[in-house]
Amino acid sequence: MNYTITPETLDQLEAYRRDPSLNLRWEPLFLLPAWLKVWQASFAPQATTQNLVVREDAQIIGIAPLLFTGDTAAITGSVNVCDYFDFPLVPGKETAFYTALCEYLKKNGIKTLNAQVIRPDSSILTHLLPLAAQAGWKTTVEPDELSPEIMLPKTWDEYLESLDTKQRHELRRKLRRFESAGELTYKFISAPEAVSQFTDTFLKMFTESREDKAHFLTPEMEIYFRRLFLSMAETGVLRACLMELDNQPVAALVAFDYNDVIYLYNSGFDRQYNYLSVGILSKALLIKDSIERGKKKFDFLKGSEPYKFHLGGKEVRLQKCRLEIG
């Protein structure tokens, strides 16, 4: 087989992503070309990046968006805003893709490949690391944070039955109390023209709900969030939610709907309604909506907050991963 690797633009990558004939498994969400474009514009406008397209003969078999620093290549993105990483590729072509990519990097003077943080089912763990072991390369794999998730059942009742008895009763009690407090509405925002107003509300609740979130939202991060939410709306994956009581916003969530998975990216709520448990209820109602729309999985993303397990999240241990090439 003849393998070629060429650097291409993010716009070219987006065209490949949208072409079903290429059979690319474009995972995870954080490697969408639109996401990469926002990340680079916000955090690394002067960085050396290359979006490497690997072809077997004339057929694309994988994509490697990389950030270069000296003799190190890292998957483009940063762990504070991108939860985990992998490479978009064609299923069945993993070994060929990684062999060609590592040979290319080694030939171009790269000694370290930093995969940042990966899931246990990532192609990096299942295919690249065995290849590295066979080649005698040094690899470093260390435990990182948990990323709880739920494999969604077909009905809300099945979901409730999957919770332990205490949490099921608590959730039902909280829902009844909230519904008796006034008129409940749960709105979804996905149209780009509505995103800016929603973001204003979301950021206010985000910073007021927890002190650590207020510190996290620097001016740079606010610009990033605004760009990201709009870009994801234009891409068609934004699932922003606003929960209201008697027409008063009480909680806001930013989630993404991609490949039948709902990713809960961030949230905030009005603290004066904390007595109504609006934080956890807003997430429970998003799970309910996801089930009703036939989604397969609900990914809480990284972090071990208790509410994720109270709502049925199962542990997925992320891992940090680096390879010394050659």
For the chain, which domains are there? Answer: 3-145+318-324 (3.40.630.30), 149-299 (3.40.630.30)
- pLDDT the model gives residue 90: 98
**Local confidence band at 190 (pLDDT 50, 70, 90 cut-offs):** confident
Does 1 score more than 80 pLDDT? Answer: no
Tell me the C-alpha to C-alpha distance, in Å, between residue 312 and each of 151, 174, 184, 203, 263. 9, 16, 24, 27, 15
Question: What's the pLDDT score for residue 211?
Answer: 87
Interval 214-249: pLDDT, tens: 889 999 999 999 999 999 999 999 999 999 999 999
Rounded Cα distance between 323 and 298, Å, is: 31
SS3 annotation, 175-241: HHHHHHCCCEEEEEECCHHHHHHHHHHHHHHHHHHCHHHHHHCCHHHHHHHHHHHHHHHHHCCEEEE
pLDDT at 212: 86
What confidence tens digit (pLDDT) does each residue in 138-168 have?
999 999 999 999 999 999 999 999 999 999 9
Instruction: Count Cα atoms within 13 angstroms, Cβ side, for 125.
Output: 17
Asked if residues 224 and 81 have their Cβ atoms less than 8 Å apart, the reply is: yes
* Helices 10-17 and 33-43, axial angle in degrees (round to 10): 160
Closest to 118 measured CA to CA, from 74, 150, 152, 151: 74
For residue 207, the model assigns a pLDDT of: 93
Length of the chain: 326
Residue 238: the pLDDT is 97
Residue 171 burial (10 A CB sphere; 0-12, 13-18, 19+): buried
Task: Determine the 3-state secondary structure of 127 from DSSP.
Answer: helix
Query: What's the pLDDT score for residue 41?
Result: 96
Residues 6+ away with beta carbon under 8 Å from 282: 186, 241, 243, 250, 251, 252, 253, 267, 269
Question: Percentage of the chain with pLDDT > 90?
Answer: 95
Please check whether residue 262 is in contact with residue 290, taking contact to mean a CB–CB distance below 8 angstroms.
yes
CB 62 within 8 A of CB 74: no
Report residue 326's pLDDT band, with 50, 70 and 90 as the boundaries: confident
Q: Please report, for the chain, how many H helices and E strands are present, in that order.
A: 12, 13
Q: What is the mean pLDDT of the chain?
A: 96
Contact 36, 74 (CB under 8 A): no
pLDDT tens track for 253-266: 999 999 999 999 99
18-53 pLDDT, tens digit per residue, is 999 999 999 999 999 999 999 999 999 999 999 999
The neighbour count for residue 248, using CB atoms within 10 Å, is 13
In percent, how much of the chain has pLDDT > 70?
100
pLDDT, residue 80, reads 94
Q: What whole-number distance in Å separates Cα of residue 112 and Cα of residue 300?
A: 31
**Cα–Cα separations (whole angstroms), residue 192 to 215, 229, 233, 254:** 27, 9, 5, 14
Residue 65 has pLDDT above 80, yes or no: yes
Order of all β-strands in the sheet with 112-118: 3-8, 48-56, 59-69, 72-75, 112-118, 317-324, 138-146
Q: How many other CB atoms are there within 10 angstroms of residue 163's CB atom?
A: 16
Residue 71 has pLDDT above 80, yes or no: yes
Q: In the beta sheet, which residues pair with residue 188?
A: 241
pLDDT, residue 321, reads 97
Contact indicator for 290, 139 with CB cutoff of 8 Å: no
Q: pLDDT tens, 109-136?
A: 999 999 999 999 999 999 999 999 999 9
pLDDT tens column, 269-300: 999 999 999 999 999 999 999 999 999 999 99
Instruction: Using the predicted structure, report yes or no on whether residue 57 has a pLDDT greater than 90.
Output: yes
Orientation of helix 219-235 relative to helix 33-43, angle to 10°: 160
